[in-house]
Amino acid sequence: MLACVFMLPRRHLLRLATAFFCLTFLLPSAHASIARAIRLADLVRASQHVVVGTPDSSFSRWENVAGSKRIVTYTRVRVEETVAGVPSGAELLVRTMGGHVGKIGQIVHGEAVLKHGERSLLFVRPEVDGRLAVAAMAQGHYPVRAERDGSLKVTASPSLAKLLRPEGSAVARLSGQTLSTCQRLIHEAARQ
């Protein structure tokens, strides 16, 4: 009878340990966020500037955003080409949410991450406080890659969230296209 009492807790412990192992190591982890897909015409309308530019420096700091203290990153983007809108100068200072200050980092899933030296097609809008931000977060950020044949292709942002109903979205229309095709599509969307 005494042995039976000690067996029960061990059995439960073994089951709990097995369940923990399976949940921790065998199931794939989920790291995605979900966003509503935005149409290209809406993205163009929401943007003050659409540019091809390259980030050349950035800094992060703490700021109060919507009543909470957050880390934000400011990135200087050297404008190489204006697709729509008129930038105020040869560079734009663009604020994105998240970053690192000292040993503390914050990640905002679905936010554009502008990497130093990575040419991108950017849709930029003013925020309420007048600062510039990437319109529609990562849906307004498209890295530009040089292909072997010399053409420039636009890709979806690597930090893009999973999109609800992506068919017909800006991401679906622009990703995988040449930069010149994207520029034509943007001009057509601006006329709508």
Beta-strand pair 99-101/132-134: unpaired
User: Using only C-alpha atoms, what is the Rg of the chain?
Assistant: 23
C-alpha span between 181 and 17 (Å, rounded): 55
CA 92 to the chain's CA centroid: 18
Confidence category of residue 4, pLDDT binned at 50, 70, 90: very low
What's residue 70's pLDDT?
Answer: 97
Confidence category of residue 18, pLDDT binned at 50, 70, 90: low
Of 111 and 10, the structure prediction assigns the larger pLDDT to 111
Q: What is the pLDDT of residues 37-69, one digit of tens each?
A: 999 999 999 999 999 999 999 999 999 998 999
Confidence category of residue 33, pLDDT binned at 50, 70, 90: confident
62 DSSP β-pair partners:
71
Percentage of the chain beyond pLDDT 70 is 83
Can you give the pTM of this predicted structure? 0.81
The mean predicted confidence, pLDDT, of the chain is: 87
Alpha carbon of 97 to those of 52, 60, 63, 136: distances in Å? 21, 9, 10, 12
What's residue 2's pLDDT?
Answer: 45
CA 106 to the chain's CA centroid: 14
23-37, 72-86, 124-138: least confidently modelled range: 23-37
What's residue 19's pLDDT?
Answer: 53
The H-assigned helical ranges of 2-51 are 2-21, 40-46
* pLDDT tops 60 at residue 3: no
The H-assigned helical ranges of the chain are 2-21, 40-46, 170-174, 179-191
Alpha carbon of 125 to those of 31, 46, 54, 135: distances in Å? 27, 6, 17, 5
What's residue 134's pLDDT?
Answer: 98
